A and B are shown apart, each in its own frame.
Chain A
Amino acid sequence: MAVNQEPQVFLYLSELLGRKVVDSEGRPFGRILDLTGNIGEIYPPVTDILLRSATDGKIVLFPWRRLAEAGDRLVAHPVQPGDIRAPALRTGELFLKETLLDKQVVDTDGAKIRRVNDLQFLQSQKILYLVHVDVGFHGLLRRVGLERPINFLFRVLFDYTLTDQLISWKFVQPVSSPDLLRLTVAQNRLAQLHPADLADIIEDLDIHQRAAVFRSLDVETAAETLEETDPKIQVSLIEALDTANASDIIEEMSLSEATDLLGDLPKDKAEGILREMEKDVAQDVKELLAHPEEKAGGLMTTAFFSFAPERTVREAMETIRREAEDMDLIYYLYVLDSEDHILGVLSLRELIVAAPEKTLSELMDTRIVTVGIEERKGRIAEDFAKYGMLAMPVVDEDNRLKGVILFKNLLEVVLPKLGR
């Protein structure tokens, strides 16, 4: 890493903890227990040290800027009456050892949960900045006190030098307490993650951290993340929210995912959420909920485009532009008669390249593949494989279009069984 240009100005938290501080006359002043940092800034500066006073054994805070290094000793100089204060944190501050050392953090760059083995500071003009979090084996050895012997062993045996595994503080999101997520909400680093990665991370966290992390997300990210999360964990996350928040998030989800989730929730909670949701969305969800989950009816969504045959390309494009945001499927347009019988289908590509005044009935393909509403997953998967489509229309016994199954939704059903 590029940080090793001037190694002498880097300091580790483990080197500072437990160190003795003396006053200007060389008398013992205290022993360092912890540091406080202001995490409001990109690289948090160390503000105070928490120390156990050598004179009366009290635990107090003392400003970092009043410390000077003299040889291998830390000297508190000068000590002014107002410097020593009771251990209360100011806004934006936290105890670095207590909240970070040995705790789990999210590495938003690598999209992983890591355990903090050490913290690395950069000293610049008497100010100590928290710049890196050490998550490597080497850092662990330093903590354990076996750095030298093991380094020696590795060099002799394998001709290999262990290196530090450092993550820049920019990519670190602490999760050990809900307050941390609230403090950093202005620059919530979790938002840098892809929802699918975020979902993996949430699954790996413990129950309290999960809830706290999930709560810290904005509604849209929360909905996207929820779609990618394991159904069992989805339920526990939603159960922990009040109905109003829960319904806001579920409304943002795709219709079929929202339906699956509501179907898994306890009845009272699901009904409460449905009442809070927008009327038309709730209506759609209720219709979908009536179908068993493992059949076509339970896999399908109703958020797709359908048009009458006499509509023109121009009209269809306008509708799409207006409503595409709320649709689960935009790539296929289904042409229906007045009783919802499916007449034909055309793709978005065909629509885009067509002349605006043409009607859909002129463009549509009438060779339609459909599945029955009672069809089982296995058969549907075979049809997808055979016809190579992105979505499959679902019809009832009178051949009326009821919904479409997205390839993506079926993939989630079929994929876990592949390669097993």
Chain B
Amino acid sequence: MVENLTGTFRGLWQAFIGKRVWKSIALFFALIGPGIITSNVDNDAGGITTYSLAGSEYGLTLLWTLIPITGALIIIQEMCARMGVVSGKGLSDLIRERFGARITFYLMIVLFLTNLGNTISEFAGVAASMELFGVSRHISVPISAAIVWWLVVKGNYKSVEKVFLLACVFYLSYIISGFMGKPDWHAIGTSFLKPTVRLDTGWLTMAVGVIGTTIAPWMQFYLQSSVVDKGLKAEDYQYTRMDVIIGSVTVNVVAFFIIMLCAVTLFQNGIRIESAKDAAQALAPLAGEYASWLFAFGLLNASLFAASILPISTAYTICEAFGWESSLNRKFLEAPQFYGLYSLMVFLGAGIILLPDMPLITIMYYSQVINGAILPVILVFMLLLVNDRKIMREYTNSLAMNIVSWLTVAILTLLSLTMIGFALFSK
């Protein structure tokens, strides 16, 4: 009787939803990961700091920029994912084969430096957020470095990916704390409908900063390698594209909530902050203890997440370019360059935070500048590669895609150069 009933139920259910739909959903969940993870790592310590500053200093006026940023992010990541699926090779591999040893060599040096700068800021984020919970950085930073090292060296891609996807879920804490700020949705809606551009240096610098922190050079390398690692095939490409789009949208939803929360609380009360830590602290009296707590937790999660990915992604990228053994399945002596680079990144990243009197703000600032300088180069390489028939066969960009992508790259290049200009000029 019971069996009969469940049987009927199942029949009804299947008729209702259709088998094909189920199959696609199952396939989708098996194939997603790289896009969502890459985008979310991008909301790292540096990102959260920039969004907090943007909201607290300029209120809601920068919110609308998230819409074009989402578009640009999708366009760029889609090309990367497509290159990974079609060529089966990482980005640095393709750059080396197409553009030769010399360019690759210098590009990798610059990439190493900028990624090291980013890693330092991730560990700074760990230190700051744990200090909000009353834990000294001399305890939190070494422990987190050890966790990061252990996770990557002892885990395999599948289990690590699951941990990472879980970390993505924790970004919800920003959305919840956003609602705790009791936002005025009417004013927020207006800010999107009537976008404003202010022509003062501070506002423009901040706008460029928000874009720069969302579209970073290392992401392209990481996304393409993880697509390759996952062994995705050209037939499954539609799911990868969905993955990339969902990732790009969620990252900006999180950014929206951070900017919005800081705008409706800190900005409206005229509180000036200098870091994400200040933001979390200042939130307590305005949005409640829990909002502050969630904000700090979000920062910790984001920093740890990015600190796990940046060093390993850098080591992979560089070893791939130079043809060094790069696999976590090898022993240290079989892949000395790989483990050497990886450990160097983790130890320098965590170690520099612990040194007294380290000019952290200066370090992060220069790493942002290098980020901005190297991004156009990588984007142009990407566009040349994605249009190379030898590599991409029939999957090169369409004319429309080329117009849109070259335009995006041109604008991003202009903005990056502007940022460098501002940075050097305002010094």
Say if the beta carbon of B89 comes within 8 Å of chain A: yes
Q: Whose C-beta in chain A lies nearest to the C-beta of B330?
A: A200
CA distance A209 to B154 in the complex (A): 29
Those of A52-107 within 8 Å (CB) of chain B:
101-104
Say if the beta carbon of B101 comes within 8 Å of chain A: yes
**29 A-B pairs whose Cβ atoms sit less than 8 Å apart in the complex:** A102-B96, A102-B100, A102-B101, A112-B325, A113-B323, A114-B323, A115-B96, A115-B322, A115-B323, A116-B323, A117-B323, A135-B323, A140-B101, A140-B105, A140-B322, A143-B100, A143-B102, A143-B105, A144-B101, A144-B102, A144-B106, A145-B102, A146-B105, A206-B87, A206-B88, A207-B233, A210-B88, A236-B231, A236-B233
Scoring B residues 77 to 111 as 1 if CB is less than 8 Å from chain A, else 0, what string do you get?
00000000001110001001100111001100000
Those of A363-420 within 8 Å (CB) of chain B:
420
A102 and B97 contacting across the interface, CB-CB below 8 Å:
yes
Chain A residues, CB < 8 A from B89: 206
Interface residues of A (CB under 8 A from B): 101-104, 112-117, 135, 140, 143-146, 204, 206-210, 232-233, 236, 420
Minimum C-beta distance from A232 to chain B (A): 6
Most chain A CB inside 10 Å of its own CB: which residue of B87, B101, B102, B233 = B101
Size range of the chain B interface in the assembly: 10 to 19
A206 and B228 contacting across the interface, CB-CB below 8 Å:
yes
CA distance A217 to B93 in the complex (A): 26
A204 and B327 contacting across the interface, CB-CB below 8 Å:
yes
Chain B residues, CB < 8 A from A103: 97
Report if A117-B101 is in contact (Cβ < 8 Å); known contacts: A206-B89, A232-B231, A420-B154: yes
Prevailing SS type, chain B contact patch:
helix
Minimum C-beta distance from B328 to chain A (A): 12
> With A115-B96, A208-B88, A236-B233 given, can you name 17 additional A-B contacts, CB distance below 8 Å?
A102-B100, A102-B101, A113-B323, A115-B322, A117-B323, A140-B105, A140-B322, A143-B101, A143-B102, A143-B105, A144-B101, A146-B105, A206-B228, A207-B233, A210-B88, A232-B231, A233-B231
A144 and B88 contacting across the interface, CB-CB below 8 Å:
no
Q: Whose C-beta in chain B lies nearest to the C-beta of A206?
A: B88
Chain B residues, CB < 8 A from A143: 100-102, 105
Minimum C-beta distance from B111 to chain A (A): 15
CA distance A48 to B88 in the complex (A): 33
Q: Whose C-beta in chain B lies nearest to the C-beta of A235?
A: B231
Chain A residues, CB < 8 A from B228: 206
Minimum C-beta distance from A60 to chain B (A): 22
CA distance A36 to B228 in the complex (A): 32
Chain A residues, CB < 8 A from B97: 102-103
CA distance A204 to B231 in the complex (A): 12
